[in-house]
Amino acid sequence: MDVMTLPGQTLWDVAVSMKGSWEAGIDMARSAGVSMTGPQKAGAVYSVPQKTYDRTMERYALTHRLEPATAGEMSPLSIRIFTSAFSAEFS
């Protein structure tokens, strides 16, 4: 599966939103030959690994449609990517 980056997203952000783990970003960056932590061009397309890194977080991220963009401007809304449901479920 391929994914298109949004404005302000790093591969770390994409990995969390698609696979529930930043570790997927390492594999995505290696396969694309780019930096995992640097800002990516909005609209760039990357292959998402098929490997499961953290099944629980992957389901949570996909169910709640997490789309973190940590390389953009910081605002109180962009800092908090997890809802109270996450806190209750994983505390």
pLDDT-based confidence at residue 29 (cuts at 50, 70, 90): very high
Of 26-30, 33-37, 69-73, give the lowest mean pLDDT range. Answer: 69-73
pLDDT 10s digits, 33-48: 998 777 788 899 999 9
pTM score over 0.85? no
Mean pLDDT over each residue of the chain, to the nearest integer: 82
Q: How far apart are CA 23 and CA 86, in angstroms?
A: 20
Write out the DSSP string of the chain.
-EEEPPTT--HHHHHHHHHSSTHHHHHHHHHHTS-SSSPPPTT-EEEPPSS-S-HHHHHHHHHTT----TTS---HHHH--S-HHHHHHH-
